[in-house]
Structure 1
Amino acid sequence: MRRVQIIDKGRNTVIAGNVGVADHGFARMRGLLGRKSLDAGEGLWIRPSSGIHTFGMSFPIDVVGLNASLTVTKLWKNVKPQRMTTLKWNVRSVIELQAGLIESSGLKLGDQVLVKDYVAESEAR
């Protein structure tokens, strides 16, 4: 699975440094199912998507909704297991993150994100 970094363009800070990209059938369908948690800096970018569910999951997540220009148009904080978000017409993709990360990163509506290819520490040396 392709991996990327999600960066807050305005603050030039990394929101999540190791995010999987679910942009085709099985990866989008599977999502985070089967995971027991997300490690710090991990996440999943699902595209296209205008909302998510957490049925079958065992941990809460934060979810960031992005429009086609990668501007934050919706924030769902601390979505607990066995829940479903609303579908939003202006959301084209979503990023599933560790619960609490929206708050701790300061991410807010209207922020723009950049997506950069992930480079593992061992590859960067």
Structure 2
Amino acid sequence: MSESTSYLNRTSRYVQIANDTRNTTLATRCGVADSFWTRWRGLMGQAQLASGEGLLIVPEWSIHTFFMRFAIDVAFLDHEQRVLKLYPALPPNRPYAGAWGAAAVLELPAGVIAATATETGDHLRLIPREP
């Protein structure tokens, strides 16, 4: 089991993230960080996010990348899962990034935003799945 997978196993639930606007999939196994501890921990200390993995932090409107070892793509979502703001390849150890009005933050491996052509205004769908 990889270090990134072992961390995702500590989250209580998972979703698949589909971009309905572009008919693409951003993550097939996205952990949901919805408790104080999982939201605070985020991806700090992780070695990587594997292809198809992600972390959805709810509720949240800003993040930081302190104590992270790799760049991530970040999408800020409103209450209807519309993309408000995108940060492709956000480098580690930045103070924070945020989006006014965001209800959730989606963290993905760097390159997913470009590979899926995801843009501001796109509608994402959260599909519940088993771990």
- Specify if TM > 0.5: yes
SS in 2 for 1:103: helix
Partner of 2:3: none
**Which shifted more, 99-108 or 85-94?**
85-94
**How many pairs are equivalent?**
120
2-side partners of 1:12 and 1:119: how far apart? 22
Instruction: Report 1:86-97 matches (<5 A).
Output: 86-97=97-108
Instruction: Report 1:22-33 matches (<5 A).
Output: 22-33=33-44
1:116 matched to 2:117? The reply is no
Structure 2 gap ranges (5+):
1-10
SS in 1 for 2:115: helix
Q: CA deviation at 1:13?
A: 2.2
Q: CA deviation at 1:22?
A: 0.3
What TM-score does the superposition give when structure 1 sets the normalisation length?
Answer: 0.91
Q: CA deviation at 1:15?
A: 1.1
Identity between Structure 1 and Structure 2 (%): 40
2-side partners of 1:105 and 1:50: how far apart? 23
1-side partners of 2:111 and 2:63: how far apart? 17
Partner of 1:39: 50
Give the superposed CA RMSD. 1.2
Q: Is the 8 A contact 1:17 1:41 kept in 2?
A: yes
Instruction: Report 1:5-24 matches (<5 A).
Output: 5-24=16-35
Matched AA of 2:129 = Y
Q: Is the 8 A contact 1:76 1:85 kept in 2?
A: no
Q: Is the 8 A contact 2:15 2:31 kept in 1?
A: yes
Partner of 1:74: 85
1:54 matched to 2:65? The reply is yes
Structure 1 gap ranges (5+):
121-125
Q: Is the 8 A contact 2:71 2:110 kept in 1?
A: yes
1:101 matched to 2:112? The reply is yes
1-side partners of 2:60 and 2:35: how far apart? 11
